[in-house]
Amino acid sequence: MIVTTHHSHPTFTYTHREMFQYQQQDQPQQHQQHMPFIHDHQRMIESQHVGHPNIDHPQEYEDFPQVHPKERRAFFMKPHHHHQGGTQQTTHPQQECHLLCGTQQTEQYQGGPRQKIEEEQPPRTTKSTIISNPHKRNHNIINVREDFIMETNYMNFYHKFYQALNCTFKPAFMTHRVYPTDQKKAAHYNMDVKFNKQMFELITKQIGVGSRRVCEEENAGGCSVFSEVMSCEIMTRLFDARLIKTEMEIAYIHDGSKKTDFLMMIDNKKVGISVTRAFKYKRPTEQDNGMFADFTVEDGMNLLKKKLSGISWANQNVQKQDNWEKHILHIFVPNKQVANALKQSYKTMNHNYKKNTIVIVTETTTMDCIYSERLYDHTC
């Protein structure tokens, strides 16, 4: 970041590295007289948490995902120049954050006092919230829809994802959480598997064209329609992905090859998506009527080896016209305990299994229909 000081004397421009050097070394008198202004400006930037919301008060923003996830942080952190009324104005990054997210009151920095500017915004149905944690610098981005909500830790998720996506042989492991928007109805439907159909309809109210296509077209068999539809929709909302081909449309050299569930375009790259679920059932008792048993690290190791080996086989057998540049193993888990077990398993795995695969673990809350799906539950 470049800091420019304005005074009656000539203007000096300093980087943060140069500011550190000025603090450590003796400088000429002409530069020393400008240092208080640099330090004041630096303290002002730090006190305002440039590019981030207020730490003490969560702020609701509208339509946060209008900017591509890869560009959000870079957009916040740089000042922008625009022309208004024939004069060039510099917009402070904090103002750009407000303008981007659709808040009605913004602050414009023009080198003098800050002025409140009222902006009329059209009503929106989709909202996003950024919640700051005072103990961590990472921020949770919450994408709110009428059907389900996604919580994503920005720095540990998007940064790692795009870093791995743009490097052919770099694997990655990341987690996030989803849950129904209507928690009251979801809790009622979650009580019995006979409500699986109603539960799935509740969490797929606003799915897109690609997800609807996955739901309606034939797959390779099994009770995995719910998880595949949700996976396609989550990829679409997280990364602005676009469905290219479904499972039965992808061509392989050998008919008996392992298959990937669907092919998507993410950031102008073909990405294969394989979907699975990680859980263990248990028999309910009077003391504990829970549905899921503890998932061990050994269970996670067996699942990851099986799925990652299948992906490696599919990578070698896919035909040239459908060849993907990267692969995502999307795993649905019912609770945090399973997610932690998978994370520990992944850490101890041999790199030969990981190769170029990105593992995304989605922790679902009050969405048990994904794990108890039956053939006659399908609504597509």
Using 50, 70 and 90 to split pLDDT, how confident is the model at 375? low
Q: Which of 67, 100, 128 corresponds to the end of one domain?
A: 128
Q: Is residue 134 part of a domain?
A: no
Q: What's the rounded Cα separation, in Å, for the pair 57 and 177?
A: 22
Among residues 92, 72, 80, which one has the least CA distance to residue 141?
A: 72
Task: For the beta carbon of residue 325, count every other beta carbon within 10 angstroms.
Answer: 14
> Do 155 and 11 reside in the same domain of the chain?
no
> Do 73 and 33 reside in the same domain of the chain?
no
Quick: pLDDT tens for 280-289. Answer: 887 766 666 6
> Do 37 and 75 reside in the same domain of the chain?
no
> Do 113 and 28 reside in the same domain of the chain?
no
Long-range own/partner contacts, residues 46-50 (CB < 8 A, 24 or more apart): 48/94, 49/132, 50/76, 50/77, 50/92, 50/93, 50/94
Residue 240 has pLDDT above 60, yes or no: yes
> Do 7 and 122 reside in the same domain of the chain?
no
> Do 88 and 232 reside in the same domain of the chain?
no
Q: Is residue 171 part of a domain?
A: yes
> Do 102 and 215 reside in the same domain of the chain?
no
> Do 199 and 322 reside in the same domain of the chain?
yes
Residue 183 has pLDDT above 70, yes or no: yes
> Do 18 and 82 reside in the same domain of the chain?
no
Indicate the number of domains in the chain. 3
Domain that holds residue 270: 148-377
Quick: pLDDT tens for 336-358. Answer: 999 999 999 999 999 889 988 99
Q: Which of 54-68, 124-138, 291-305 has the lowest mean pLDDT?
A: 54-68
Q: Which of 93, 128, 163 corresponds to the end of one domain?
A: 128
Q: What's the rounded Cα separation, in Å, for the pair 305 and 308?
A: 5
What's the pLDDT at 88?
Answer: 52
Q: What's the rounded Cα separation, in Å, for the pair 217 and 214?
A: 6
Q: Is residue 122 part of a domain?
A: yes
Q: Is residue 91 part of a domain?
A: yes
> Do 67 and 8 reside in the same domain of the chain?
no
> Do 42 and 93 reside in the same domain of the chain?
no
Q: What's the rounded Cα separation, in Å, for the pair 258 and 243?
A: 20
Q: Is residue 51 part of a domain?
A: no
Q: CB of 41 within 8 A of CB of 26?
A: no
> Do 29 and 70 reside in the same domain of the chain?
no
Task: For the beta carbon of residue 279, count every other beta carbon within 10 angstroms.
Answer: 22
Average pLDDT over all residues of the chain: 74
